[in-house]
Structure 1
Amino acid sequence: MCPLPFIGYNDTQDGESSAHARKACIHRNHIKDFQLNEDFTVAVKEIDVRDVSDKTYRAAIGALELARWVEEDHLVKFIVGFKTPERHYLIFQWADGGNLFQIWKSSQRCSNQLIHWAIEQMESIARGLEKLHNFDPSGIFYHGDLKPENVFVSTRPGHLGDLQIADMGSARAYLTRMGLGEAETMPFAGTIRYRPPEMKNSHADGNPRGHDIWSMGCMILEFIIWILYGPDGLEIFNGSFDNAARPFFGVDRGHGPLQHNVSNWIRHLRETCFGDDCASRALRDLLDFVHTKILVEDDGIENNKQLANTRRQNSLSPPRLLSTPTTTRKNLRLRQRRADISDLNEAFEQILSNKEADYFYCEGPAIKDSWELVLKSRILHGRMEKRTTGPEVPTHSSSPSTILPILAQRKQ
């Protein structure tokens, strides 16, 4: 057994996951055809063999090796994988700014600049996801476990950072080949919280790309709450679930596919921050698209038509996403079709191209007034409704735009 070419290895583990990531420095002579940081740092992900079977690991490696050739800056590149009797190892390019979940723990002043950055970064993630979805014309390629912890941040001076999709293959990236009509794929798993409603029984057929779109919609909603209310608002939203692992979808048809608390939060945002004195028409338009086009049930019929169409296309062309005509869907009594990744990117393009004054941010009392309602509302707190203290709303005469959402000081 030869030693690995590491000249530096961080023994500190990320305790939030059974698959631990470590920072390492690899000797430059052992890296070819990859653009790494100047100090040749990489991320080494360790997975206990008891958590992932050899078959699953091999399938993940195959998916990662294929995804490696997707030309997209907003996808973290896979370098190589190897294993020992006790652990599987995956080596990726290093992102030095942590992940999106960690970004959401920080407070940023709600501003035109912050909203622009957030929407541009969400659009970049969607563009990366589109390239991933459309990369392999011989089948379906999708992520399978989109969540804030799997969106990494690469920092640059004077900027909050660039977001990159990561973890494409750590037992949760899937490749379906259709050459003989046989699916070579692992059962869909994904993190429970970001699973779509068609995954109620932990496994479902249908449109696997639609799973990614639902997860993306959940993250966009959380992103919007963080922009408006900061980490304290996002904490209250997360606390409104009766279980930390509870997914966004529910079983009460009166609220559509969403949990009561999620529907309540969307309604609150529409009636306050995005009401008559709208704080951000850009975020309002994005929330409307997510609520009506993404966080909906998906009948999965597009998948079959899409695959049939894919076989007919030239192997050099990306798969073309098809939708069923509205009249046909009505006749077949189908549920509403979830937007695909190209629909989402068109929505982002339309929002980002809007040059109207105050479209992205309009300074005013809407966010402050809305936040005060959040603190008073038992409905929005959910299982945290017995909480006796919360983020303290400043009472000095500063403009709301300079004090919100930085409201993180708690009462002592």
Structure 2
Amino acid sequence: MPAEQQFLPLRLQQGLCDNEPTSATWEDEMAPNQQRGLYDAIFEKLVRSEFSQKSFLPQDDFETLITENTIKEELDKVFGTLDSSLAKYIAKKAPRTFATLVIQDKVLKAMNLEKSKFNDDYLPIANEDSVLTSLNGLSRDGYAWKWFNSWRTQEKNDFCEKQWTFLSPIFESNSMMEVLHRDCRLPFITCDSKREGGSFSFVHKATIHHAHHKISSANLVIAIKELRDTAVGADQRELAALDLARQLQHPHIVKFVGGFRQGPTSHLLFKWADGGNLRSYWNNKKNWSRNADLISWTIEQITGLFSALEKWHDLKLSSTPLNGRHGDLKPENILRSLEAQDSRRGIFQIADLGLAKIHSLPTHARNNPSSTLDGTARYKPPEVKAKISRSYDIWSMGCITLEWIIWLVYGIDELKAFHDQACPEDHDPFWSRDSDDHPTHPVVISWMKYMADTCLVDGEQCYSVALRELLIFVRDRLLVPDPVDHDTTDSTQQSNEDSGLSILITTTPDAKSVTSFSGRAKCNESCMKLRKISSTPNDGRNYMYNPKVNMSGPNGRGPSKPTPSKLQVPSPISSSRQEVNGPLDNR
């Protein structure tokens, strides 16, 4: 990388609009003797940062405008004809410094740049207590600072302010968290007002100028997640998980772009999911119909989400295998991207992996509890007070999958009826609080039994054989309590205040050994089952959807009220389940 770029906070390297500055400050500050030329060319290309509320020069325009030839032309206007050595030095070492002098109308001060050896490596600089300091960490003792000896205080301050026009960051494909000065102008050419982004953040929708990111060649629409936790280091609690998720490059995981901390506030950047979330998708009646294509596509999406979760649960990105889990799966954290070119419906992706935890040992072998900020109560499993394992995510996905089946069979009105019966309050889970063993909620069981006995009954009157198989898998393998407390210590889940958004890589050399027990299905088993369900048999023309089944009567409605469950749920400790699940070494 050229030396003149090494000062940049994010590595400078990409416009929905060519907004001119809304204020008249640039024209007002233009000196009476300013000749038309490079100044005007710069001014005409300025773009307004709707996030920072200031103008910046995009990187591609900077490279076009600030060249050795244009620099020499400006120097010749001021000094007459010069040899080319000064222009060569500036073009190679100090183009941003020179551009700042141009918009200051101080090109005359460029005469001693080469002699003093001041260059862009020192930028950005700040005038703190009447002492100029490089914010890039270069020594204050260097000879180069003598370049400013003859400058008046106002000239120094003006330089410090105008330099930011040319220092907007560029987000690389592997950008992480960068600490930016409060005056740094972010290259976001659109930015809406912030909205609630969950319990721990606000979210902006913004657009990164195409010359200021390395994700694609076009303007990039992003979500800016503004973290509420302003404590120093709080942002680091999310970055480890987000970077690992980015390395997976899984199509069903929302892409992490990068982050920045400006002042006391940290921001995380993600590609914008332009199709809303799964909840809003269900609520839009235009998305629902009864046909094989929708059912087939939905099962593909569920399979893809489980596949992403499988990769996340068993991270194999280094020599040390890591075990991850999400901990807050819910329809609001499953977003729909419409970018997928092979599907008019788009693709669903898991979001908020920044709340996740990473461990180098399975749950049952850890001496320290795994906890995080409370996930959404409705989708928590019965063992919520135990260590949060990857099995926690499977229960949550079981809840979501059951809701999806109900939506596919009946539509949004019946899905809302199910919620009114099973979860009248937002904090009501899919399991019963009325007994110590917390079985699956009777209403949940009654709905699964009702569907299995009516529209999804075994035989020719089955509305969808694929959905019946999926329902039975949810009933028997996902929405079943883990029968054993996998913890081997007396530790309990920490409080929110204690745990924060911790992201840990835990090593426990003296971890206690445990015996294998059966439990709900693991991700790999779920993926295999879902792939099998999605593979339509050659002789199954009505496998996904049977148009001959009458769905206009009782078949087209869920149970009107909760009924006592007589649905047989497999014994949680059956030997057959233990054989299917295998050991709990990836819990």
TM-score bracket, normalised by the shorter chain, equals: 0.7 to 0.9
2:337 to 154, 169, 173: 154
Deviations 1:337-395 (A, max 9, x none): 11000010011111112322211111134433235653x72327xxxxxxxxxxxxxxx
RMSD between superposed Cα atoms in Å: 3.1
Q: How high is the TM-score relative to the length of structure 2?
A: 0.54
Deviations 1:26-61 (A, max 9, x none): 1233323x348x3311111123227xx656542212
What residue is the counterpart of 2:322 in the other structure? 139
What residue is the counterpart of 1:164 in the other structure? 349
Q: Tell me, in whole angstroms, the C-alpha distance in 2 between the residues paired with 1:303 and 1:343.
A: 23
Q: Tell me, in whole angstroms, the C-alpha distance in 2 between the residues paired with 1:133 and 1:194.
A: 18
1:25 to 207, 212, 233: 207
Counterpart of 2:544, as a letter, is F
Shift of 1:71: 2.2
Q: Tell me, in whole angstroms, the C-alpha distance in 2 between the residues paired with 1:337 and 1:184.
A: 20
What does 1:309-324 correspond to in 2, within 5 Å? none
Deviations 1:232-281 (A, max 9, x none): 11111111123222111113569972112111111111111112511001
Is the 8 Å Cα contact of residues 80 and 92 (structure 1) preserved in structure 2? yes
Is structure 2 residue 298 aligned with structure 1 residue 115?
A: no
Is structure 2 residue 529 aligned with structure 1 residue 340?
A: no
Is the 8 Å Cα contact of residues 79 and 93 (structure 1) preserved in structure 2? yes
2:258 to 80, 97, 104: 80
Counterpart of 2:278, as a letter, is L
What residue is the counterpart of 1:71 in the other structure? 249
1:176 to 351, 359, 366: 359
Is structure 2 residue 405 aligned with structure 1 residue 224?
A: yes
Q: Which has more radius of gyration?
A: 2
Q: How many corresponding residue pairs?
A: 343
Is the 8 Å Cα contact of residues 11 and 22 (structure 1) preserved in structure 2? yes
Is the 8 Å Cα contact of residues 127 and 345 (structure 1) preserved in structure 2? yes
Is the 8 Å Cα contact of residues 198 and 204 (structure 1) preserved in structure 2? yes
What residue is the counterpart of 1:205 in the other structure? 387
What residue is the counterpart of 2:106 in the other structure? none
Is structure 2 residue 420 aligned with structure 1 residue 242?
A: no
SS state at 1:153 partner = strand
Q: Tell me, in whole angstroms, the C-alpha distance in 2 between the residues paired with 1:16 and 1:188.
A: 11
Shift of 1:159: 1.8
What residue is the counterpart of 2:444 in the other structure? 262
1:106 to 284, 289, 299: 284
Is the 8 Å Cα contact of residues 195 and 211 (structure 1) preserved in structure 2? yes
SS state at 1:4 partner = coil
The 3 A distance-change label for structure 1 pair 93 and 303 is farther
Is structure 2 residue 545 aligned with structure 1 residue 361?
A: yes
SS state at 1:66 partner = helix
Shift of 1:218: 0.6
Which runs of 5 or more residues in structure 1 are unaligned?
A: 305-327, 381-412
Is the 8 Å Cα contact of residues 378 and 427 (structure 2) preserved in structure 1? yes
Higher relative contact order (CA 8 A, sep 6+): 1
Identical aligned residues as a percent: 34
SS state at 1:69 partner = helix
The 3 A distance-change label for structure 1 pair 140 and 99 is same
Is the 8 Å Cα contact of residues 120 and 352 (structure 1) preserved in structure 2? yes
The 3 A distance-change label for structure 1 pair 42 and 354 is same
Counterpart of 2:382, as a letter, is P
Q: Tell me, in whole angstroms, the C-alpha distance in 2 between the residues paired with 1:370 and 1:64.
A: 46
Counterpart of 1:160, as a letter, is R
Deviations 1:113-162 (A, max 9, x none): 11011101111111111111222443311211111111111125772221
Shift of 1:225: 0.7
Q: Tell me, in whole angstroms, the C-alpha distance in 1 between the residues paired with 2:272 and 2:221.
A: 6
Q: Tell me, in whole angstroms, the C-alpha distance in 2 between the residues paired with 1:186 and 1:252.
A: 25
SS state at 1:104 partner = helix
Deviations 1:179-216 (A, max 9, x none): 996759653632111111100xxx4226x111111111
